[in-house]
């Protein structure tokens, strides 16, 4: 059975539209993105080779891995190049003046159909 835990990761004003931020929750490195008001959170490790994704080039909602240029759509968690590579994504939301992330006991890569 999976258990879920909510974690307040930052103040809302620390993640304004267009910004990104790295946070550490339960020993995990998680990259947060604000895509024009749409909040996204991913495991900060490329599923291809583990490179940090935080500094990757962002083209709309598509983030490119800075190590090899692999694209990942932050809205779905999937690579537009093929669904074999998926990011681990986490629910992220604003609650009052803070940003809250929800982790499950066994989070793993997930791709959502578009």
- Is 84's pLDDT higher than 90? no
In degrees rounded to 5, what are phi and psi of residue 14? -85, -5
Residue 100: the pLDDT is 94
- Is 105's pLDDT higher than 80? no
- Is 114's pLDDT higher than 50? no
pTM of the model: 0.86
Instruction: Report pLDDT digits (tens) over 50-68.
Output: 999 999 999 999 999 999 9
Query: Among the CATH numbers 3.20.20.20, 2.102.10.10, 2.40.50.100, 2.40.30.10, which is that of 4-104?
Result: 2.102.10.10
Query: How deeply is 13 buried, as exposed, middle or buried, from its count of CB atoms within 10 A (0-12, 13-18, 19+)?
Result: exposed
Residue 82: the pLDDT is 74
- The average pLDDT across 104-113 equals 57
């Amino acid at each position: 059975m999976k258990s879920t835990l909510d974690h307040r990761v930052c103040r809302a004003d620390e993640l304004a539209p267009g910004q990104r931020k790295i946070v550490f929750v339960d020993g995990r490195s998680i990259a947060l993105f604000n895509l024009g008001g749409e909040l996204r959170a991913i495991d900060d490790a490329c599923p291809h080779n583990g490179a940090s994704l935080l500094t990757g080039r962002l083209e709309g909602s598509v983030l490119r891995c800075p190590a090899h240029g692999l694209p990942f759509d932050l809205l779905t968690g999937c690579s537009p190049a093929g669904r074999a590579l998926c990011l681990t994504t986490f629910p992220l939301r604003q609650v009052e003046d803070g940003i809250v992330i929800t982790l499950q006991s066994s989070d793993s890569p997930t791709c959502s159909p578009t």
